[in-house]
Amino acid sequence: MNGPDSRKPVIVLVRPQLGENIGKAARAMLNFGLTELRMVEPRDGWPNPDAGPAAAGADIVLEKAQVFPTTAEAVADCAHVYATTVRKRGVTKPVYTPEEAILEIAKADGRSAILFGPERSGLETEDVALARAILTVPINPEFGSLNLAQAVILCAYEWSKHESLVQPTQEEILPPAPQEELEGLIAHLEAMLEPTGYFLPEARADVTHRTLRGVLTKPGWNHLEVRTLRGVLSSLRRGPRT
């Protein structure tokens, strides 16, 4: 059985050219829960002083990064290898979108790796030949150029859907108010509207009450929003302050 870390795909940068792009790729990885970075023959060597600032705090990814002399050695322990390319290069292999590939990776036994080629030229035919499948993105045919970090983040984001990552805004969203508080708001507004003749004529009073209730219940107010609206109504009832 795979452990929790072994399920995560390995990101392999084949002959990356700029340290800045390596750092940005590391940042994209850590944003979405991936930490294992491998590189094949980085053009400017490793470590690269330009990678750290571009990683913007994703130092753990850079510190653990491994460098290999060949692509074959970089993926030697991986049972499932995906080559990111917009061209099939005459190689007949299954073709997946990032979503489809990550779904397969999440279900697979054994380690998985995703290969990303150099910024200028992409993966060579020999690199693609090592892969079991091709990973490609539906993209504008008139402008099909993604930079390295963009390509990595597309795959890392898809992986995050299979992890228990917390949405940054979820902790700030309050649950809907209990029905008792909502009923208080409705009764408060109806009590203010009654003297104004809002529910006349009598024959349509029930319909008007139901419509008003529908308007007030649809948004799913939380208790702070209900309290705020009650404060607004109380202020209107008091009238202008002298």
Q: Give tens-digit pLDDT for 99-119.
A: 999 999 999 889 999 999 998
Domain ranges, ordered by start, for the chain: 10-160, 174-238
Residue-level pLDDT at 130: 93
- Say yes or no to pLDDT of 3 above 70: no
What pLDDT is stored for residue 1 in this prediction? 41
Say yes or no to pLDDT of 27 above 50. Answer: yes
Given this model, what pLDDT does residue 216 score?
87
The answer to whether 136 touches 84, Cβ cutoff 8 Å, is: yes
CATH match of 10-160 with 3.40.1280.10: yes
Report the distance separating Cα 51 and Cα 69, nearest Å: 20
Whole-number Cα distances in Å, 183 to 44, 99, 122, 221: 67, 44, 62, 12
145 pLDDT tier (thresholds 50, 70, 90): confident
Say what the pLDDT of residue 137 is: 87
Q: What is the pLDDT of residue 85?
A: 87
Query: Under CATH, what is the fold of the domain 174-238?
Result: Helicase, Ruva Protein; domain 3 (1.10.8)
Angle at 36 between CA 35 and CA 42, to 5 degrees: 120
- Residue 88, pLDDT > 60, answer no
Residue 87 has a pLDDT of 60
The pLDDT tens digits for 150-169 are 999 999 999 998 876 555 55
The predicted model gives 67-74 an average pLDDT of 97
Helices 223-238, 179-193: inter-axial angle, 10-degree rounding: 20
Beta-carbon neighbour count of residue 200 at 10 Å? Answer: 11
Q: Whose CA is closest to 115, among 144, 101, 198, 106?
A: 101
Question: pLDDT: is 158 or 221 the higher one?
Answer: 158
Radius of gyration of the chain (CA): 28
Over residues 178-186, mean pLDDT:
90
Contacts with 34 (C-beta within 8 Å, 6 or more apart), sequence order: 8, 9, 11, 61, 156, 159
What residues have CB less than 8 Å from 158, skipping those under 6 apart?
98, 99, 101, 102
| Mean pLDDT of the region 209-217 | 89
Amino acid at 113: A
